[in-house]
Every structure is written in C-alpha cells, then in structure tokens.
Structure 1
Amino acid sequence: MPFGAHETMEVHEILSEKKCMIEHFSMYERQCQDPTLREMLHRHIQTATQSYNQLVSYTHDYHTAQTKMMPMHTAHTYDIKYGLHNPAPSAPQTDMTKMNDQSIASAMLLAHKNSAKNHMAAALECADPNVRQMLVNGSVMCTHEAYETFNYMNHRGMYQVPTMSDHTAKTMLHHYQPMAQGMTGSMEATGQAAYGTGQNGIQDAPKM
C-alpha cells in the first residue's frame, strides 16, 4: 500500500467525519422549514459527497486523483450585523422530536468549522501529494461553506457578533506598526556580524 500509517489513519478519520456529515445534513434537509436553508443544505450535501467520492476513489486505485478545487457557489451575501441586540436565552433541549431551523443552522456551522480544521490538520500529516491537496481543498471548501452558514444566521439574528469599543480595538491593533522595507536584510547582516563566519562558510557559534 503506497500510504504511510499516519496518513492512512488521517484519511480514515476524514472519511468517517465526512460520511457522518452527509448523513446528518440529509436528515436536516428533510426537517428544515426555510427554503433558503434547505437549498443551502442540498448544495453542501452535494459538495461533501463529491469530495468524499474523490478521496475514496483515490484510496482504492491510487490513480484517479481529483486535485483541482471544486467550484464554490457564490451565495447571496448580506451586510454583517455587529453587536448584541437582546439575544434570547438558550439552553440544551432534550425533548425535541424535530430540530428547528436555528438548531440545524448551528449544527451545520459547527460541522463545517470542525471539518475545516480537521482537514487542514490531516493534510499537514500526509506525504502523498494528491491526498494532501485533496484535504487542503476540503478545508477550503468547508471554510467557505462555514462562512455562508454564518452569513445566513447573522442576517436572521441567529448569530450575533459581539463587539468592543473602537478605542479598545484600535489600541490593540494599532500597537503593531509596519516594518520598514529592507529591515530583513539589515537584520541578517547584523546576525552574521554578531556570530561571524568560520571555515567553509559555516557560522561560528556565539562565544559564551
């Protein structure tokens, strides 16, 4: 088998996760009430299925690698609404016989965010360049679909974005200043002068 033990286990975890996502999203699609959410679920199931089949096919014959990025749907985007506006109290519901649209959207968002992180973490452990690229592509796709889900939720008041005062935000971020051009070269020269160069161009260790 051309795969290493580590990447074999990583691919196994990703395929297991993607299989679970497809099954759950299919159930959500049958239960959701909002046509916009249902259409989004349908597209996300299709992209997850395509990604799953590509990875399965390659692990079966090692030849049919589809490493090109799948086209991403450009969903309608809304202006992001910032700030907390009397968010409703929330607690786990254990007596639900059917999920409401907010619970479905929340589950979608968490699934995509976790899948994006898991795909990228798995890609970093893969030696096979085709598997690596397919996992990177999967991470990018999940990132895109997570943002689409967030955008839907934010527009409908399901996901409110906390803010801090402009003064606090600027104080934190304006602490960092642009680096002057050519500074990197100067730093390298300073380092070489400090350590010196020994025989064969190898830098001497600093003297204690």
Structure 2
Amino acid sequence: MQSQMNSVNIGAHELMECHEVLSCMVNAINQFQLLQPHCQDQNLQNILQNQLSFMTNEYNAVVNALQQKANVGSLPTVKSNISATPTYGMNRNSVPESPNASINQLNDKDISSAMLGTHKASAVSKMHAALEFTDSQLREMMIQGSKNCADQAYETWNYMNQRGYYQVPTFDQTTTKALINSYQPNALYSNQQQTY
C-alpha cells in the first residue's frame, strides 16, 4: 500500500520563507524555555508562561496549515487587554549596562529584554514572509502572526516600562511640536472619502 501526499501548491520562495519563519518560531520557543527558570518576578513568570504556551499553539497551527493545506484555518490571536500608561522620560540615576559575566547574573530585566527582542525579530520575519506569499490563506496567517508578535512585544514592553527597565526618552516640547508640525495633509485628497 503506497501512501499518497496531498498536492500542495506553494512556490519555492514561499516554502523557503515558511522554513525561515518556522525556524525562528522554534528558536523563540526554545529561548523562552531557557529563560523560564531564571524568572524571579511572578508577574514576569506568568507573562512568559502565557506567551510560551501561545507561541507553541501558533507554531503548531502553522505546521498543520502547511502539512494539511486543504485545512488551513486562521491563527489564534493574542487577547490583549493592556491599557498601558507609559512612563516617559529618562531616569537620571540609571546604572550603565554591560553584559553579564555569567548566566547566574541573569535577572528579570535581562529576561524581559530578551523576550522583547525575540518578539520584535519574529514580527519582522513573519511580515517579510507575508509580503512574499502568493497563497492568500498563508499570507493572512503570516500577517496575523506578525500582529501577534507585536501584541506580545507590547505586553512585554509595558512590563518593562512599569519597572523602569525600558525608558522612553523625549524631546523638549519645542522640538516635538516642530517635528510634528513639519508635515501637513495633502490638500488635494484630504476632503475626499477613500474606499479601497
């Protein structure tokens, strides 16, 4: 009895993009597993565990979509209920940063920073893949995956900002207003309703 594979219509370039995305997803899951035992703050531990579980489910959904092309569904979406109130400005008493001398020095700031960097890189990787796809269902999966990474990055950033790990520098009001007001709407199109 010979097994038959479902015929999958996917271009070589798309397949290589999927390979890159899935490799990044595997690396991200592995990295979060490595970070998990080093968390000290329970809130960060909860964020990491929830994100790790979500990332694993998302990875499985992408693999299933590729292997069972006829059953492509949508990716799960991050349920983000974050209403952040960012803290702006720089803390003048910040301690200069340098790499840790050993893994024993890994702290919650390091862990949350690694999580944030992983989500940022993954969002870019998935959006880049989406821009190369011709299959509309896989393209939508990559777009949703990129948005999921962006939402998880925002959750992580909010944690970091609340604890002073990620500061938001600002310009003085004169410079801020000058930059904002250096652009004006296009008068030709500004009063027309756009439907695309």
TM-score of the two chains, using structure 1 as the length reference: 0.82
Amino acid at match of 1:41: L
CA distance in 1, matches of 2:47, 2:33: 11
Which residues of 2 match residues 65-84 of structure 1 at below 5 A? Answer: 65-67=72-74, 69-75=76-82, 77-84=83-90
CA distance in 2, matches of 1:182, 1:80: 34
Are 2:112 and 1:105 aligned? Answer: yes
How far does residue 173 in structure 1 lie from its aligned partner after superposition?
1.1
Match of 2:39 among 21, 32, 37: 32
Match of 2:14 among 7, 24, 49: 7
CA distance in 2, matches of 1:108, 1:101: 10
Alignment partner, residue 201 of structure 1 = none
CA distance in 1, matches of 2:189, 2:89: 41
Alignment partner, residue 195 of structure 1 = none
Higher RCO structure, 1 or 2 (CA under 8 Å, sep 6+): 2
Are 2:125 and 1:118 aligned? Answer: yes
Contact 1:31–1:98 at 8 Å: present in 2 too? no
Tell me the secondary structure at the aligned position of residue 63 of structure 1: helix
CA distance in 2, matches of 1:153, 1:114: 18
CA distance in 2, matches of 1:4, 1:93: 44
How far does residue 98 in structure 1 lie from its aligned partner after superposition?
5.5
Which residues of 2 match residues 1-208 of structure 1 at below 5 A? Answer: 1-67=8-74, 69-75=76-82, 77-85=83-91, 86-97=93-104, 99-180=106-187
Unaligned runs of 5+ in 2: 1-7
How far does residue 58 in structure 1 lie from its aligned partner after superposition?
1.4
Unaligned runs of 5+ in 1: 186-208
How far does residue 129 in structure 1 lie from its aligned partner after superposition?
1.2
Alignment partner, residue 5 of structure 2 = none
Amino acid at match of 1:51: E
Rg larger for: 1
How far does residue 180 in structure 1 lie from its aligned partner after superposition?
2.8
In structure 2, the CA distance between the partners of 1:63 and 1:166, relative to structure 1 (3 Å rule), is same
In structure 2, the CA distance between the partners of 1:167 and 1:53, relative to structure 1 (3 Å rule), is same
Contact 1:29–1:38 at 8 Å: present in 2 too? yes
In structure 2, the CA distance between the partners of 1:169 and 1:64, relative to structure 1 (3 Å rule), is same
Q: What percent identity do the matched residue pairs reach?
A: 38
Aligned length: 184
